[in-house]
Amino acid sequence: MKMLRTISLCFVLSFVFLQAATVEGADSNRTNWAGNVVYSADHLQEAASVQRIRTLVKSETKVTALGTRHCFNTIADNAHTQLSVLQMHDVVSLDATARTVTVAAGITYAQLSPYLHTHGFALHNLASLPDISIAGAISTATHGSGVRNGNLATAVSALELVTADGEVVKFSRGHGLNGVVVGLGAVGIITRITLDLQPTFTVKQFVYENLPLAQFEDHFDEIMASGYSVSLFTDWQKKRFTTVWIKSREGYGLPFAAPEEYFGATLATQNLHPIPGLSAENCTQQMGVPGPWHERLPHFRAGVTASVGKELQSEFFIPRRHAVAAILALESNLRNEIGPHLFISEIRTIAGDANWMSTAYRRESVAIHFTWKQEWPAVQLLLPLIERELAPFRPRPHWGKLFTMSPSELQSRYKMVDEFRSLAAKHDPTGKFRNKFLNTNIFTSDV
Ligand SMILES: Cc1cc2nc3c(=O)[nH]c(=O)nc-3n(C[C@H](O)[C@H](O)[C@H](O)COP(=O)(O)OP(=O)(O)OC[C@H]3O[C@@H](n4cnc5c(N)ncnc54)[C@H](O)[C@@H]3O)c2cc1C
Ligand SMILES: *[C@@H]1O[C@H](CO)[C@@H](O)[C@H](O)[C@H]1NC(C)=O
Ligand SMILES: *[C@@H]1O[C@H](CO)[C@@H](O)[C@H](O)[C@H]1NC(C)=O
């Protein structure tokens, strides 16, 4: 009976505090993006230079980096001090020959992408929204979709971080990067990131409605490979996927022909929102209109309210070969339970990688995502049912979203977790960067 664990309890309490905070008119920036977590930190420090970060880290006993606050759990919280590096968002250098860009760690994808495009370059992929900090995104293995696309951390070729003693340490491919890049905030405060680039490219986005479940069962691999990045959305009802989003990259394989009917689904003739019935005003352009990579790969445009806002999110990663079995299991056994609390689910693919704490570590993966209504008491009871249904496929939960899996089960999904603990201890011997989330899920075990 480890379902109601500390972390879960912590969210329940957060809701209570949020109510109180709202009544008292407290600063809305004491919460995460979705408003479901009220940060318990006494102080938010904002650093505008590496020197300032070094001084702050040296002087604090407990400090956790805070990015753009898009996580749904307490991974970015700390009972003492949070440290934001968002003021540091410059492009440090663009190396056209090596095809890399080096940026200050507080930059967001929305800030960086237009700059890259203007200079003729692109990143390999983006998440569903661009308004997230790159440091925060890579730290939790944030991903987009595409059978050949690794998550966003796989684009990192080097990074620099400030360790617990205030020193700046550099890591690069082949020189320790695999251990630290999906670092969960536990190794240090990232100050600089170098990313791989490609020549800029054009993407056309096509959306189809009502893909029959039977077609998905028989043609999953083909559908997911029909574009550079493909997402399936479902409410788990009526034996169909509500929409299929095919992002077709110019010059990548055969161009997608965009027939009016595709595996029984119908080509949409207007822009759609992933959640049926919501206005597509904040979504990226669809209907096959060509546009630059950064204005098509995310579902949502920069600078607007992405998704719903008042929501919760969960996501589980399993080996891609089990995608159909896992989705059918959830559909047959839990669709009635999931339905009332769900805005929408999304299915995406992620290539396997070598980053120790990556949710796609050594696994070609499929991600099963849930955008929930902000009904934590109900969602909290549903998550163990979903986790149990997925257990035969050894699911790994998204590091930035909500889950109830026990620490021992979670840790058993990561072959390199001991090495990660040692690495964190080497750079942070006193546990300065450890918060309750990390202590519970990584640094202690419930067995
Ligand atoms: C509307 C919405 C859509 C989303 N879509 C996707 C999606 O498509 N795919 C996906 O995978 N996820 C998605 N997410 C989840 C999101 O990408 C992750 O939660 C990501 O970690 C958020 O980054 P952040 O900067 O907001 O992080 P925060 O929540 O601020 O922090 C996240 C983690 O990064 C660490 N961190 C931040 N900055 C630093 C630093 N400088 N040095 C060291 N550690 C640091 C923090 O300590 C914490 O551990 C979505 C979230 C929302 C709200
Ligand atoms: C909250 O945000 C406002 C405006 O962005 C800022 O002036 C203020 O310092 C922030 N407060 C905290 C505690 O972060
Ligand atoms: C679009 O974004 C704007 C600005 O953030 C917001 O006011 C509006 O509610 C959003 N619309 C939808 C349908 O999400």
Q: What is the DSSP letter of 15?
A: H
Q: Is the CB of 53 under 6 A from ligand 1?
A: no
Segment 166-190 shows an average pLDDT of: 98
Q: Is the CB of 41 under 6 A from ligand 1?
A: no
Indicate the CATH number for domain 91-199. 3.30.465.10
Segment 76-86 shows an average pLDDT of: 95
C-alpha 49 – ligand 1 centre gap (Å):
21
C-alpha 28 – ligand 2 centre gap (Å):
9
Hey, which of 129, 282, 300, 307 would you mutate to test ligand 3's pocket, going by the most ligand atoms within 8 Å of its Cβ?
282
444 confidence band (pLDDT: 50, 70, 90)? confident
Residue 101: pLDDT over 90: yes
Residues of the chain with CATH 3.30.70.2520: 202-405
Return the percentage of the chain with pLDDT > 70, whole number: 93
Q: Is the CB of 279 under 6 A from ligand 3?
A: yes
pLDDT of res. 42? 83
C-alpha 282 – ligand 3 centre gap (Å):
6
- pLDDT digits 0-9 by tens, 5-26: 444 444 444 443 333 333 233 3
CA dist 432 and 163 (Å) reads 9
Q: Is the CB of 97 under 6 A from ligand 2?
A: no
Segment 393-404 shows an average pLDDT of: 98
Of 11-25, 280-294, 318-332, give the lowest mean pLDDT range: 11-25
Alpha helices, H only, 280-394 = 323-338, 376-390
Q: Is the CB of 278 under 6 A from ligand 3?
A: yes
How many degrees, rounded to 5, is the angle at CA 292 between CA 286 and CA 298? 55
pLDDT of res. 129? 97
Segment 416-430 shows an average pLDDT of: 98
> What CATH fold (topology level) applies to the domain 202-405?
Alpha-Beta Plaits (3.30.70)
94 confidence band (pLDDT: 50, 70, 90)? very high
Q: Which residues contact 30 (CB under 8 A, 6 or more apart)?
A: 21, 38, 39
Q: Is the CB of 29 under 6 A from ligand 2?
A: yes
Segment 288-305 shows an average pLDDT of: 97
Q: Is the CB of 27 under 6 A from ligand 2?
A: yes
pLDDT of res. 30? 87
121 closest CA partner among 288, 289, 293, 242: 293
pLDDT of res. 445? 61
Query: Structure tokens of 386?
Result: 């979903």
Residue 397: pLDDT over 90: yes
CA dist 101 and 193 (Å) reads 8
Segment 200-213 shows an average pLDDT of: 98
- Cβ atoms within 10 A of the Cβ of 339, count? 11
pLDDT of res. 221? 98
C-alpha 304 – ligand 3 centre gap (Å):
6
CA dist 21 and 356 (Å) reads 38
Of 13-17, 112-116, 244-248, 406-410, give the lowest mean pLDDT range: 13-17
Hey, which of 27, 43, 77, 84 would you mutate to test ligand 2's pocket, going by the most ligand atoms within 8 Å of its Cβ?
27
pLDDT of res. 253? 86
Residues of the chain with CATH 3.30.465.10: 91-199
CA dist 39 and 29 (Å) reads 9
Return the percentage of the chain with pLDDT > 90, whole number: 90
Q: Is the CB of 127 under 6 A from ligand 1?
A: yes
C-alpha 49 – ligand 2 centre gap (Å):
19
CA dist 89 and 106 (Å) reads 5
pLDDT of res. 367? 99
324 confidence band (pLDDT: 50, 70, 90)? very high
